[in-house]
Structure 1
């Protein structure tokens, strides 16, 4: 992973000192709420329903074990003993005191971390595939370019006050695990006919109030020009994006209004002034940054391990965990491991101080001192020997980190919702917990198979409900919390947006609604179909009919 040089460290230290003085002046009454608001947002601090929320950046989802230990220490010292990993591969603290936030940022700076540009109308944390660098289907490791883009976008003066927040995702694998089509800019890396690195550029994607999948604006961009081309895109957006209506301020609205052909024409015209300029990436610069992402010191191992095979054969619980939580690796004898942050009864994505310390220890012992955060809100050890998997499993299980539900219905993506967020229309966490209780039989979950369920507490879609196989959106209905359901959404290279099945449901109805959706799937599926495959084959109507027939029947019974 990338290590700060003296310039990086000086910039972050200076920002901490600047923010410390700004906070001091605000607490002394020298700055008004309105004056302090943009200053705190530039440093990742929101004012939530009950307390401030501090969002800490984890660039392209990569953490060193010593950084995770620092996060654990901060959650113990300054928060309530836990943190929340978000769908942007960041960590959120839900209970810090405002007066402590300068000290938290100072602590982060000691381990090359910060909260810069994790909020506000700027270029946010650049995200990527959690398996970048080790996935067997990877074509190009995109992390070096992601790091160059992070450096380019951080403190970029021209883009410090965009019409709205701006999100970029990069992917270099055959299967898109970074949601590039659902971002303001999505970058897909590949080799062209001459075996040179090139980039397919998507633009205008995004979820929220108006969900739209992006459109390809450039089929084959030379990698050297990725900064200047993205700069041209953002300049056009910055010039024409709506500033009078926050609901219509995202780039997706501008692309839709202009049409992709006109938007591309304006981008190309702007790019003509930038191409081959100072922001053109040189081979030397790419090599310098790529040096931080070189191959780990893998041992030469056999493709199979007798002790691992024996443990699989003799221990069904271990075998179930391997099936769901252990992933293929490009190096023989190694695997990647997802540590589930979705045990039943816990808010999805939450990790305690103790669990963070345990994961840091596991990373040191088994995974070259490094780990990843996925946008599915789990933690990943990317480089584990086959022969170490059983010991790792025992340790992870002892600390609630080995629930074998990755990719299953209870591996729920969920925003903090109305329990914390002042923007939310409804609570998300209680709905997730109720669904987890409904489906607490692991054998049944494995029979259901791969199914993605996403929950958002409002139209901002921080839980990515639009692209869940089953999506749940909290809505306000006459001052009460209700939940709208979509089905048929999907992330990946064949991404799709879900379809609303009908009127919203009350909170206590939601576990039953999900159960009836599953009932239709089990009755209708064929061969090895996943839930999303069945929805795409038979359509939404059979699911809607069955769910609302039950609802109508209950109403009729109530009147008898």
Structure 2
């Protein structure tokens, strides 16, 4: 993983000192709220419903065990003993005291971490496939280019005050696990017939109030031109993006207003002026960064241990966990292991300080001292020897991190909602609990198959509800919490935005409505179909009719069939 040099460390340390002085002056009344606001946002600090919220950057979701222990210590000392992992692969603290945030940033800096550019109108944390470097379908490790983009964009003077926040995702595999098509810029790594690396460039994707899928503006961009082309895109956006309307300030609105072809032409014209300047990406620089992501020393002899197969046969619970929470690895004898942050009774994405410490210890023992955060608010151990899977599973069970639900309805994405966020219209965490209580049978979850449920507490879509197979959006109706349901979204290769089912439903009826929707799927699916496949084949209407007729004879019959284990 990337290690700071003296320049990185100096920049981060100096930022901590600057921020400490800014907080001191604000608390002394020397800075007004309006003057302090952009300064705190530059350092990841929001003012939320109950307390400040600090968002910490985890570049492309990669953490060392030492860093995770520091995050655990911060949770204990400055928060209420837990942290929350987000869909942007970052971690958030919901209860820090303003006067203590400089000390938190100083502790982060001591382990090569920071909160820079996790908020504000700038280039945010660059995200990647959580299976980067270990996926069997990978073309090239995207973390190399995420790190290069991070170094280029951090403190970039021209892009510190963009019209609105800006998000970039890089995917290096055939399967898009980074939701690249719904980012301001999505980069798909490619390899041509000569083996050279390049990028397909998408622009103008995004969710929120106006969800849009990105447009390809360049099918092939050479490696050498990566930074100059990104700079050209940002310059066109910086110059023409709207600053008069917060809701129309994202680049997706500019691309839609100009049209993808006109936007592409403007970018190409700007690029022609800068492509051969100092922004040319030197192959030697790529190789320098690549060395930080060299694969670990795999123990291929230990990987041939046959105890794994024996435990699969002898321990049913272990076999179930392997089937759902363990993924293939490009190296024979090794696996990728998901740590589920979806324990019933706990908000999705939350993890306690004690669990973080335990995960750090387990990473040192089983995963070369590294941990990854995922787009779906879970953690991942890459590079686990399959001979170690059974003792690792036993340890995760003790830490309540082994719920075998990855890829199921219970593996839902969920923002903090009204419980914490000052922007939210409705709660999300309580709805997640309601759904977990309704669908608490693992055999039923498994029968539903792969199903992505995403939930947001407001139109800002931090829970990515637009691209959930089932999406839930909290809305405010005259001071009451209601929930709008959409079906058919997807953030992968076959990207799509969900269709709104119909009128929103009251808070007490979300799980019941979801149950009726799933009855239609169970009744109408064909062999091997996921929920989204069935939806795309039969359309919205059968789901809509059943969802709003709970008293019908058909609904009663389905309920009886479900009760006996359909």
Partner of 2:395: 395
Corresponding residue for 1:61?
A: 61
**CA deviation profile, 1:244-275 (whole Å, cap 9, x unmatched):** 11111100010001001100010001001110
Query: For 2:454, what is the secondary structure of its paired residue?
Result: strand
Aligned: 1:36 with 2:45: no
8 A Cα contact 1:301 1:333, kept in partner: no
Distance verdict in 2 for CA 1:261–1:390, change over 3 Å: same
Q: Deviations over 1:84-135 (max 9, x none)?
A: 0001000000000000000000000000000000000000000000000000
Q: List alignment gaps of at least 5 residues for structure 1.
A: 554-560
RMSD: 1.0
Q: Secondary structure at the match of 2:447?
A: helix
Residue 561 (structure 2) aligns with = none
- Equivalent residue, structure 1, for 2:560: none
What SS class does the counterpart of residue 548 from structure 2 fall into? helix
Closer, same or farther in 2 for the Cα pair 1:535/1:20, shift >3 Å? same
Q: Is 2:443 aligned against 1:446? A: no
Task: State the match for 2:564 in structure 1.
Answer: none
What is the match of residue 310 of structure 1?
A: 310
Residue of structure 2 equivalent to 1:105: 105
Looking at structure 2, the residues matched to 84 and 459 of structure 1 have their Cα atoms a distance apart, in angstroms, of: 20
Deviation for aligned residue 1:550: 1.8
Deviation at 1:371, TM superposition (A): 1.0
1:292-338 Cα deviation digits (max 9, x unpaired): 01111112248754211111111111111001100000011100000
Match status 1:134 vs 2:134 = yes
- Preserved CA contact (<8 Å) 1:302 1:332: no
1:160 match: 160
CA offset at residue 180 of structure 1? 0.4
Equivalent position SS for 1:273: helix
Q: 1:384 maps to which residue?
A: 384
What is the TM-score of this pair, normalised by structure 2? 0.97
1:542 counterpart residue number: 542
Taking the TM superposition and a 5 Å limit, the aligned residue runs for 1:351-366 are 351-366=351-366
Do the aligned partners of 1:172 and 1:190 also contact (CA within 8 Å) in 2? Answer: yes
Note the 1:277-288 alignment, pairs <5 A.
Answer: 277-288=277-288
**Helix, strand or coil: the match of 1:550?**
coil
CA contact (8 A) 2:144 2:289 kept: yes
Following the alignment from structure 1 to structure 2, what is the Cα–Cα distance between the partners of residues 182 and 541?
26
* Alignment match, 1:51: 51
Following the alignment from structure 2 to structure 1, what is the Cα–Cα distance between the partners of residues 540 and 301?
A: 48
TM-score w.r.t. length of structure 1: 0.98
Other-structure match for 1:76:
76
**In 2, Cα distance between the equivalents of 1:372 and 1:108?**
17
Where does residue 562 of structure 2 map in the other structure?
Answer: none
Task: State how far apart, in whole Å, the 1-side matches of 2:242 and 2:551 are.
Answer: 42
Give the 4+ runs in structure 1 shifted more than 6 A.
Answer: none
Q: Which moved more, 1:487-496 or 1:125-134?
A: 487-496
Deviates more, 1:443-452 or 1:117-126: 443-452
1:402 is displaced (CA, Å) by 0.1
The alpha carbon displacement at 1:372 in A equals 0.4
Aligned equivalents of 1:503, 1:138: Cα separation in 2: 42
The residue that corresponds to 2:475 in the other structure is 475
Deviation at 1:552, TM superposition (A): 8.7
In the alignment, the residues of structure 1 paired with residue 353 and residue 224 of structure 2 have an alpha-carbon distance, to the nearest angstrom, of 42
Partners of 2:518 and 2:378 in 1: CA distance: 24
Structure-2 separation of matches of 1:552 and 1:454: 28
The aligned counterpart of 1:557 is none
Aligned 1:39-438 pairs, distance under 5 A: 39-301=39-301, 305-438=305-438
CA–CA distance in structure 1, aligned partners of residues 219 and 231 of structure 2: 17
